[in-house]
A and B are shown apart, each in its own frame.
Chain A
Amino acid sequence: MSGRLHRPQRWAWFLERPGYLLFMARELTGFFVAGYLVVLLVTLGRLGGGETAFAEWLQTLSTPGWTVAHAVALAASVWHSVTWFAAVPQAMPIQLGEKRLPAPLAAVVMGYGPWLTVTTIIVWGVLR
């Protein structure tokens, strides 16, 4: 339409509000979660490749570079999970009659609770 002024979005739109930066951080930390999955798949592949291949891979994983990478990936994955658990009450509210389960409680029931339960079972299974 003539006369109307169109103001295109800046390519660096994510710098314009702190909320956008937090969003980008949440999305980018997802790559670390994917990275974990790749490491797990490679580990399974090596396991299938025999005892020596697996032992060599474990050797590689215990080098300082890999240890640092794991620490960074763990921090990023925890941050990613926390942001998603914070979003759970918004995306999947639990309605009880006229009331909604308060957000912190919903995050525990739908997010932290199941997470801790599954983690505990896995840790127990591994350390037993």
Chain B
Amino acid sequence: MPAEQTMTLEIFRYHPETDSEPRFQAYEVPYDEDWVVLDAINWIKDHVDGTLTHRWSCRMGVCGSCGMMVNGDPKLTCAAFLKDYYPRPVKVEPLVNFPVERDLVVSLDGFMEKLEAVKPYIIRDDVNDTSGGEYLQSPAELARYKQYSMCINCMLCYAACPVAGHEDEFLGPAALALGHRYNRDSRDRGRAERLDVMLAGEAIWGCTFVGECTAVCPKHVDPAGAIQQAKAVAAQEYFRRFAMPRGAKDAGA
């Protein structure tokens, strides 16, 4: 019987209560063609080192919680196959551009604030009034925003965005794409409210269209495209408000 094949995972470790600096720890894991990086991390946690901390849930690219840097690339570790790296070692780090809580787990606080800021839900006054039946939408109206609604909040796009890495005011790819998604929804009336947020400071203008957010997005959301389109809408709104300062907001929806 052939000896079991193995491969090396170099994993970023940081425990705030004991470590002043992060370090990398190497683990030998069994190599299995069908394994993804997440399987190998789970194997380490189950068999070698229970103190290793990471996030995951669905193991099928839906929950968006297993994002990490794999050899420097932001990846869903449940979709990154070991066979694409074997036999070279794989380096696993927490997503960059986020503070690290512990080992491979990053803090989501900043992202959640930005996501909330764009009001990613349908806004309209008559939302409880169902007497007129459903709010119908044609397939063409759905097509206007569907792509931007596929986001799973995995935050790979933030890790790929150099602006998100140094500009706190910038709302970032996923939040802006979701804001744009609702602005394009025929049932929504909240565009003016969202534009208030998007027009402020560097919120949207921080984007320089590097485009790597779109390159790494596992759901083909194309946040870079959404942001450029949202910029065009925001620019029109900016000039409209400049030309008609009074009552401009009311007309926005």
Contact = CB atoms under 8 A, between A and B. Distances in A.
B206 interface: no
B162 interface: yes
A27 B210 CA distance: 10
Interface in B1-52: 14, 16-17, 22
Nearest to B20: A5
Interface in B133-161: 139-140, 142-144, 160
A59 to B, nearest CB: 40
Given A20-B212, A87-B209, A87-B228, A5 B14 contact: yes
B143 A98 contact: yes
A3 interface: yes
Given A4-B107, A87-B211, A90-B228, A17 B16 contact: no
Interface stretch (B82-90, B93-101, B123-131): B93-101
B14 A19 contact: no
A19 B232 contact: no
Contacts of A99: 143
Nearest to A10: B165
Interface in A88-128: 90-93, 95, 97-100
Give the size category of A's interface with B.
20 to 34
B61 interface: no
B143 A17 contact: no
Contacts of A6: 99-100
Contact of A14 (B140, B162, B228): B162
Main secondary structure of the interface of B (DSSP, over half): loop
Contact of A4 (B96, B100, B209): B100
A31 to B, nearest CB: 15
Interface residues of B, number: 33
Q: Which of B144, B209, B214 has the most CB of A within 10 A?
A: B209
A82 to B, nearest CB: 14
A47 to B, nearest CB: 35
A123 to B, nearest CB: 31
A13 B167 CA distance: 14
B57 interface: no
Nearest to A87: B209
A100 B220 CA distance: 15
Contact of A5 (B100, B215, B224, B228): B100
A23 B162 CA distance: 11
A4 B14 CA distance: 9
Contacts of A100: 143
Contact of B225 (A1, A5, A93): A93
A51 interface: no
Nearest to B231: A91
Given A4-B101, A91-B229, 20 more contacts: A5-B99, A5-B100, A7-B99, A7-B100, A9-B96, A16-B72, A17-B212, A19-B215, A23-B209, A27-B208, A90-B211, A90-B214, A90-B224, A91-B209, A91-B232, A92-B232, A97-B143, A98-B139, A98-B140, A100-B143
15 contacts: A1-B99, A4-B100, A5-B100, A9-B97, A9-B165, A13-B165, A19-B160, A19-B215, A23-B209, A90-B222, A91-B209, A91-B229, A95-B143, A98-B142, A100-B143
Interface of A: 1-7, 9, 13-14, 16-17, 19-20, 23, 27, 87, 90-93, 95, 97-100
